[in-house]
Chain A
Amino acid sequence: MHFWLTMMFAPGFFTNEPVMTAIVVGGGAAVVSGVVGVFTIIRGQSFAGHALADVSSAGGSASFLLGVSPLLGFMGMAIIAAAVMGFADMRDARERDLVTGIVLGAGLGLTALFLYFDINSMSTSGAAITVMFGSMFSIPAAIIPLTLLVAVGATAAIVVAYRPLLVGSLSAELAEVQGVHSRVIGLAYVLALSLAVALSAMTIGAILSTALLIGPAAAALRLANRPGSAVILSIALGLAATWGGILLAYDSFYWTPGHGWPVSFFIVTLVLLFYVAATLVAHRGLGRARVHPAEVRSS
């Protein structure tokens, strides 16, 4: 038993401070992304979620310049972008696709500009890789309280608005009939979405945070036959992928001496494995795919 434990957890895993910070921050990101991700897929806004994550990297790269906490940078930019996207006319699907694309292009342009200033002013040539691909083991421990606050806040917002949000996501007409203000609900959702992507952009990097947002939720929606169980399954899969990825990355220092494999790579690989497994299981007919409006109405 002891042998297998040391095989699994390389020495020092539980006493290493950067690892503990990564576990807490990554766990927070996985929980929020898991909850928000289910709604993102049901609402068909994966592109918007991905765009917000990418645009938030502009805030991340600006935070180096301003000397503020990176989380504040990521969050600030994500919220600004979400407000711009929400301000534009989003009822037409074509318009939504275009506005998202335009905001994404402009946001990434800002990222390029800020990174250029970063590289020039303080010769942090690694900033591009840190911001875009994340470096989990270099997150400062001081950021934990703020991270947990954001994670709890965003999750609580979704839980409070759970019922109307779900109804509004599945059918806007039904929501109107039931007296739900779909605009208010939409705004609350977009706010939670921007908090979720800011958290995961900071942990596994701006362009990979989409994996944590979409992957576990897509897998969960294949397996679960009720929205509630999809949310819980999505959280569980996200946590398993994040913590498993951290563990594998830590152990990889011992496989290839002196050279660790990137955490983000392991997290995304695990997420994809879960998705493929879920697809196979759903194909065998063991789970019923999709949440259907009729089920919500009857439940």
Chain B
Amino acid sequence: MFAGFMMNTWIVATMVATVAGFVGFFVVARRSSFAAHVLPFAAFPGAAAATLLGVSELLGLVAFAGLGVLGISQLGRNDRREVATALCLVSLLALGTLFLSMTREYSQGIYALLFGEVLGISTSQILPVAVMSVIAIGTMALCFRPLLLDSISPELAAALGVSNRFWELQFLTVLALSTAMALPVVGALLVFSLMVGPASAARSLTDRPLVAALLSVCIAVVTVWVAVALCYLSNWPVGFFVGALGVVSYLSGRLCRRYGAASYRLSPRRLSSNAR
């Protein structure tokens, strides 16, 4: 399990989990699960497009993730956010089906891009993921306080002169970049599951935002380690284990909250009741 060829997998999986756990804290706080689902899944046709045009796969992924961010934020101006997100997803995926039908040889890669093939990561894939992880975590850490304020209470943030649109765009951009980088390595499903599951447990375990974010990272890293180990032993897809562990995280978070542990909710209601 810890043989030479597996080392790359452990390193990359840990980095992806760290970013996903950290970004996931904001995904949960901002109620952005849909965007977190859409951006990885909308980016993956970019890989097929890149193969078709003969450019680097990463370029295609970043371009499509960028299109996704633009679509969500622009369409969201004059329609419900959910509707805009859904329409954005299907339009990029429709392009994907067209590209796929043109490059027959690519259909094998689809499964890997959607669900991940973590057991064959080359050393050259480590550096881009590492660079991207540092950028994503750095940006999120620098903007932690204003982003948190904007997530918990958009009205209060707007009253204090924080631009909601700016932070939404900033958040989506980091989300898109971190998924685009991880996509060819671990697949769209794994990125998404890692963003929602661990953070949903972390929010139930503590009241303090920073602690919750760190806890979310820890749970994400443990999740991915267990998933990779199980995947190595059973040869079943890693996305299945991460998804199942996400359910475990969520349920244990709810149990903890019900049975006396600190209840943690980043909701305006709770903030106002504290103030009273």
Contacts and interface: CB of A to CB of B under 8 A. Distances in A.
Q: Do A and B bind each other?
A: yes
Interface of A: 41, 44-47, 49-51, 93-94, 97-102, 104-113, 115-116, 119, 125-126, 128-129, 132-133, 205, 207-208, 210-211, 214-215, 218, 259-262, 264-265, 268-269, 271-272, 275, 279
Contact of B82 (A46, A94, A102, A265): A46
A128 B80 CA distance: 31
B90 interface: yes
Given A45-B82, A47-B34, 18 more contacts: A41-B80, A44-B82, A47-B33, A94-B28, A98-B250, A100-B33, A105-B243, A112-B243, A113-B236, A116-B240, A133-B93, A210-B89, A215-B87, A259-B102, A265-B95, A268-B93, A275-B87, A279-B78
Contact of B193 (A50, A105, A132, A265): A105
B247 A97 contact: no
A118 to B, nearest CB: 10
B41 interface: yes
Interface string B62-95: 0000000000000000111011011101110111
Contact of B111 (A128, A211, A261, A262): A128
Contacts of A44: 80, 82
Interface string B18-52: 00000000001001111011000100000000000
B242 interface: yes
A83 B101 CA distance: 36
Given A116-B237, A210-B90, A109 B85 contact: no
Contact of A101 (B36, B80, B85, B98): B36
A135 to B, nearest CB: 10
Nearest to B31: A97
Interface in B6-25: none
| Secondary structure of the A contact surface, majority rule | helix
A218 B94 contact: no
Interface residues of B, number: 54
A98 B90 contact: no
Nearest to A110: B240
Contacts of B236: 113, 116
B241 interface: yes
A46 B240 CA distance: 24
B257 to A, nearest CB: 11
| Secondary structure of the B contact surface, majority rule | helix
A214 B98 CA distance: 21
Nearest to A217: B83
Contacts of B32: 97
B97 A264 contact: yes
A214 B89 CA distance: 11
A107 B31 contact: no
A41 B83 contact: yes
B100 interface: yes
Interface string B199-242: 01000000000000000000000000000000000001101111
Contacts of A218: 79, 83, 87
B167 interface: no
* Best-buried of B28, B196, B243, B247 by chain A (most CB within 10 Å): B243
* Best-buried of A44, A45, A112, A259 by chain B (most CB within 10 Å): A112
A207 B28 CA distance: 23
Interface in B157-200: 189, 192-193, 196-197, 200
B272 interface: no
Contacts of B80: 41, 44, 46
A208 B250 contact: no
Contacts of B110: 128-129, 132
